[in-house]
Amino acid sequence: MIRKATTVVGALLLGMAGAGLSHAEVVTKSAGEFSIKLEQELAQDSAAVYRGLASLPAWWNPVHSYSGSAENLSMELRAGGCFCERWDEASVEHLRVIYVVPGREVRLSGGLGPLQSMPVNGLMQWRIVSLGEKSLLTWEYRVWGSNANNLHVIAEPVNSVLKEQFGALRDYLEG
């Protein structure tokens, strides 16, 4: 299990860039915080994008999991819901769902990957704007803590992983 967790940390730090995003960047970064914003117009309406977010195991890259299997991931889109991973007798809460408006917005709290073992706070937001038969999805992740965390070092690798996951979500939605 420790070996798999080390693999997750390594994969997060190496990350891969997703293709085709209209907007993806580290907006701010310093020793004590970073903010990432990814945005793209999608061919699906807001209800379909929301359903896609809820289908987390279908689009999350298993390389970025502790168990190595996306099938072990789940997310219940309701306040208090858990973006969790369970396998064998082990489990991890990746993020906690704190706000949901179906078809419009989901907010999650917590640290992904190696951020979970650091004294930081994190806020992830998925905002969906209806454009008729299409939609605009904005994915933001803000992390903050003490300057001793040197978060500026991990900002770009986290951005790379989120771009990869955003691309996987887009590919999943496109079928």
Model's pTM, two decimal places?
0.86
Domain carrying residue 103: 2-174
Q: What is the mean pLDDT of the chain?
A: 89
Instruction: Give residue for tokens 């007798």.
Output: 89
Alpha-carbon gap, residue 137 to 73, rounded angstroms: 22
The number of distinct structural domains making up the chain is 1
pLDDT in tens, 106-160: 999 999 988 999 999 999 999 999 999 999 999 999 999 999 999 999 999 999 9
Alpha-carbon gap, residue 23 to 42, rounded angstroms: 13
DSSP state of 76: -
Alpha-carbon gap, residue 133 to 143, rounded angstroms: 33
- Whole-number percent of the chain with pLDDT over 70: 87
Residue 94: strand, helix, or coil:
strand
pLDDT in tens, 75-116: 999 999 999 999 999 999 999 999 999 999 999 999 998 899
Residue 56: give its domain's CATH number. 3.30.530.20
